[in-house]
A and B are shown apart, each in its own frame.
Chain A
């Protein structure tokens, strides 16, 4: 669901096919019948933007029919925890949770104090300006919520107390009946029930089920909450931390996982440490206080941050100067991509470097982006070809002042490096050919840019230049272009102790400055000074866990939270699903994978009152990154828009929310720019969703300029159901113009049954399918699908809602 795996991950999809051949049921829930649906056992067509209704329906089904995995839920999740008595649910407040402050004239926010576990306080309360940055950082690992020694204060193990999470969950999803699902999603009750049943049947001791998603879920104003709903399902069914279970995110690029691991996002540091805030006084100590969790593995956040600082500033980072903590930039705003472009429009951004990205085509509201670029003083674009973002100035109507630099980049076969995929698997790749002419790798670019900047600043006495001058910036180089050694960077990420020994994993990391590590999660990837990510033991020489192929973080552990594959006493739930278990003789955890647990902590371990960090987690609580070691059905803190997922309509929808008067996510992020008006429902009656095709790659830089790919899908087209075609007079093979308040594009028309018309409330709501690969350049050119979209975002992660908005569509080309 929320993905099209065969289409966009064809190589990975072979394993789904293999599973199907061995009898696994493959269910695909999607607004369109895609190449994935063609291979599935079952396809259920739904309305784009109705995912929480569907998933909530499954939660309701599980709870109503007693299908949850009782033993697992009782001990491994926070089902039994009691919530603050002041908590009120959306069911009571017509679409709001308790604590809503509408903040007249500004964006509303939640005060999350009432969401907390009874008797506790949230560790970090949201603050006004920086509040939209909080979601991401405090989400990681939960960071305690003021919980001490890993034990939430009040619980009801019978799961009957009206304020326990389990009962709150039940009440919250009580109205998500099969009838509600059918009405809201546009499927039949039978189809919905068959999916719910399939999931339930395939869960429990003997069987597990897996949920796979991609940007079909993330690209909504409720994206994070959709994923949360899937997490709730999997926790209720006992499918997390068990082989064949889990919630798997299909990433959109070959190494976007690695990209976020190593913090290309503005609000995190490598290893998902939080970025320091400008309004947080007290330096490193205060930072550690807020980052560190009293319980769980985030309890060692101090060791992680200090080791990172040592990796970056080496000798210059000492205990006396807080390990150069003050050298780190501090954030004070949302610095996400969309916010930055809005600042560009305001004239507040002087320069911008775009590397391996094409925002004019790939981001929502492309024209807003192109306009933003006209306001810069300078723009640098590095790419394989002159993409639309690099060539935007050629289309500019008036004179613009932006100085544009286009620098050629090398491709992945022209450099060493790694890919980190959706399973946290880091695979090394070796350079195969030298780059041509002036093409250079990113590593070369940033390294030599740094050298040049340092050279310029060399004689500076200004304190603000010390952060750059004090950096450790000596990587060995090779070849005629002085290419820095990627492996040496990997070694730095792995880290070393003060004797220069490569760290075996993250456990030896210390907060006293004796260790350095560029990314604590990757510690171990260069253990024994061997590039573990380059290992290639074939699968026929090892078992299915395949620990000898490449390296997964952390610690080459392939399945996270795998303590959950065993019961309270450390025995596998079943022989069939045996994965990791407690060996009473050896007094340690062992199994097919690296146990995701303290190796020597017995299943019956109970922490003392003053235990801290990992020691504060019980022997039967597998979710060690949470401060209470439990899977969170209910999230007391970390998310900006609610502790539980709720069906909200997309920002633009032809339908009203059947549950509440508050139709959309009240906390969604908006910019209210004149370049980004919202569609009026009457003028734009159709649901539109954007997506990819196998033949092209995202914003088209790597496919629209390649003949062999361009000829496979040589024109921009849209997909419509024959009933919509009839209604609007669209002709298969003809042209259509698709319009929103932002822009209009033209496309060829593919009339197909595969787009699901939504029958609800006695009417039919049609959906229009829009691939978003095309732009104004390349061998195949065409209208950009994202030009139609608006920039209303999920508040937690600032992701655009391009999977469900509205449009109008008419026959004919754009001009005349």
Chain B
């Protein structure tokens, strides 16, 4: 601390360096959910497209991966609640100003329809109803993959709010990459072509979107280069590039390469969600990320006249 609390009080441009915002109270379940939700949503799209083009192995993979994601996601979310026993309160209202509310409905619809489709697939019955269920699931699939970006941006946290133009593309493309990677890892390479293409395309678009976001954030984007968020960001980029590279090349022939590539890409996508998650905490912690952009926005200098 400085020589006297009076000297500190005279010069400080914050309140003793304390945060202005509150850090989110969300636990590790949430970044994992960002990952599994995105995976589930894009997988249902992939599965339906495969169904439509008569690629049964890929269609089944898409369906089952989507089901896995849709099964794990609600558990993660409910577990994160302060009052888990009150999770049904999410459905008291339908409220468009609350991305979390909208997302709850989306997840609910997606989960229900995917479960129906999965059940019918396993029982081998009612194929037309099954496809109907898959279609409903796919209809909610893209919203499911993308809405979480809106949820994060719709806060006061500078690194999230100011990223509102890019983050939906980061998450959407990331979801595509995850879905493609997962399917490419478990489906025979000769059936997994579209999956690999989706994975590589998603990785590329997602990386570009991420870089664009970091560039435009400027000072506010510092957390992506510091601390835990910075580490996860770096890991995400490395794994994504490595995984995509494998999928684009040797995974066409080698099952092993497909698994390794798919696994790396999935790891990269998970790390990316963690990086975004952690960045929010770091952004909330330092008052300068709130004060400086706001003062600049109003055309005021950083110290009083």
Contact = CB atoms under 8 A, between A and B. Distances in A.
A/B: CB atoms within 8 Å of each other: yes
Interface of A: 721-722, 725-726, 731-733, 750-754
A620 B2 CA distance: 62
A754 B4 CA distance: 10
Contacts of B2: 732
8 contacts: A721-B4, A722-B6, A726-B3, A732-B5, A733-B1, A751-B4, A751-B5, A752-B4
A751 B9 CA distance: 12
Given A721-B4, A722-B7, A732-B5, 19 more contacts: A722-B4, A722-B6, A725-B3, A725-B4, A726-B3, A732-B1, A732-B2, A732-B3, A732-B4, A733-B1, A750-B5, A751-B3, A751-B4, A751-B5, A752-B5, A752-B6, A753-B6, A753-B7, A754-B6
Contacts of B1: 731-733
A732 B4 CA distance: 7
A750 B5 CA distance: 7
Nearest to B8: A732
A722 B4 CA distance: 6
Contacts of A722: 3-4, 6-7
A94 B52 CA distance: 114
Give the interface SS of chain B, mostly helix, strand, loop or mixed: loop
B221 to A, nearest CB: 33
Interface in B1-50: 1-7
A731 B4 CA distance: 9
Contacts of A733: 1
A316 to B, nearest CB: 65
Nearest to B10: A753
B5 to A, nearest CB: 5
Contacts of A721: 4
Nearest to A726: B3
Interface string B101-145: 000000000000000000000000000000000000000000000
Nearest to A754: B6
The 10 A-B residue pairs with the shortest CB-CB distance in the complex, in nearest-first order: A753-B6, A722-B4, A751-B4, A732-B1, A722-B3, A752-B5, A752-B6, A733-B1, A752-B4, A753-B4
A741 B142 CA distance: 79
Nearest to A750: B5
A732 B5 CA distance: 8
A813 B10 CA distance: 29
A723 to B, nearest CB: 9
B298 to A, nearest CB: 30
B128 to A, nearest CB: 66
B79 to A, nearest CB: 32
Contacts of B6: 722, 752-754
A732 to B, nearest CB: 5
A725 B4 CA distance: 9
B62 to A, nearest CB: 56
Contacts of B7: 722, 753
| Interface-central residue, B4, B6, B7, by most chain A CB under 10 Å | B4
Contacts of A751: 3-5
Contacts of A750: 5
B253 to A, nearest CB: 65
B244 to A, nearest CB: 51
B270 to A, nearest CB: 41
B3 to A, nearest CB: 5
A710 to B, nearest CB: 21
Contacts of A752: 4-6
Nearest to A731: B1
A464 B7 CA distance: 68
A451 to B, nearest CB: 57
Contacts of B4: 721-722, 725, 732, 751-753
